[in-house]
Homo-oligomer: A and B are copies of this chain.
Amino acid sequence: MPDSPEVDLDEVYNFALELGQAAGKILDDGWKSRCNGDGDNKTVEKDSAVDIVTQTDEDVEAFIKEKITNRFPSHKFIGEETYGKGSSKEYLIDDDPTWCIDPLDGTVNYTHIFPMFCVSIGFILHGDPVIGVINAPFLHQTFSACRGKGAWLNGTQRLPLLRNPIPPMPVNAPQSCVFACEWGKDRRDRPDGNLYRKVESFVNMAAEVGGREGKGGMVHGVRCLGSATLDLAYCAMGAFDIWWEGGCWEWDVAAGMCLVREAGGLVTTANPPSNVSDAVIEDARPGSRLYLAIRPAGDCARESGREGQERTVREVWRRVRQLDYSRPGA
């Protein structure tokens, strides 16, 4: 697909990188200010931190929106704060140049000052995330990617980190894989609800080989960070082999999807199709709310990197349940 004639990706990428640094600085100042007691620490209950954090969230989004609107007035803007809290959840991304922003991903982590929080800046063209900038200021980690330019950590270290050569997927995946997942917000105690389907899937992935009536995946480790954006960034890095999640929104994943794809990874749907063995493995849409990411993988004698990724997708699909997340217009 041709780019819109008016979009200069280099210009947009440089702008997004600057924006990521500035927005990350606001987040960084925010938690430090709370530590120094020059925030609203007169309210000693930690619950009240939620209000302070919400204010930071809104401030960062307003800051980003203003910068974008000034520089690229013709571009659309979708932000977690302004759009995500509205009553409509219609999927609004079309062919137009669109910014898709989460000013603060990992909000619970930020509230508790656990370092896994970040600002996520995605730029979407013709429906595809083509630029992604993720800044996790407490970790001193900025992830960035632009279509055709690869994915990077702190602008200097190309992703995936292991690339001389890039390791193929393990022959016995999901064994030997680090499996990232999230418990999410849907904690309703309903028979066969999303909570139970997730947990059943986690247990299948974790249990010993031969266990769970053959579904035991014996993954190398199970990780839950509380940030979909950073889950994707660590997939791009090669640190997480598999990320499986349902329920998050396009602003949670737009930048991260660009990262994973530019690094050589794959993002498809979390929900197994009926024909797991031979279904065509399609790219996930940013707004699909159901994601399965596989890290970049190198070729080896037995298969190409892509074949190894697709084999891993099918092995995950054999072990996970369908999740029930829908949206208007999807």
Contact = CB atoms under 8 A, between A and B. Distances in A.
A50 to B, nearest CB: 9
A167 B44 contact: yes
A287 interface: no
A298 interface: yes
A211 interface: yes
A38 to B, nearest CB: 9
Contact of A178 (B44, B108, B220, B237): B108
A291 B122 CA distance: 41
Contacts of A187: 206-208, 211, 216, 218
A82 to B, nearest CB: 24
A47 B168 CA distance: 10
The DSSP consensus for interface residues of chain A is loop
A208 B222 CA distance: 23
Contacts of A223: 114, 224-226
Interface residues of A, number: 64
A208 B41 CA distance: 29
Interface string A83-113: 0000000000000000000000000110111
Given A37-B164, A189-B208, A199-B199, A115 B224 contact: no
A155 interface: no
B240 A170 contact: no
A157 interface: yes
Contact of A47 (B162, B170, B239): B170
A203 B199 contact: yes
B164 A237 contact: no
A106 to B, nearest CB: 9
Given A44-B167, A162-B113, A207 B221 contact: no
A271 interface: no
Contacts of A171: 45
Interface string A207-236: 110111000101011111110000000100
A251 to B, nearest CB: 19
A50 B207 CA distance: 21
Interface in A129-175: 139-141, 157, 161-165, 167-168, 170-171
A44 B168 contact: yes
Contacts of A221: 108-109, 112, 183, 226
A168 B48 CA distance: 12
Interface string A267-290: 000000000000000000000000
Nearest to A213: B189
A177 to B, nearest CB: 9
A46 B176 contact: yes
Interface of A: 31, 34-37, 41, 44-47, 49, 108-109, 111-115, 139-141, 157, 161-165, 167-168, 170-171, 176, 178, 183, 187-189, 195, 199, 202-203, 206-208, 210-212, 216, 218, 220-226, 234, 237-241, 298, 300
15 contacts: A35-B164, A41-B162, A46-B162, A111-B220, A114-B178, A114-B223, A115-B141, A139-B139, A187-B208, A187-B216, A188-B211, A195-B203, A199-B199, A199-B202, A225-B225
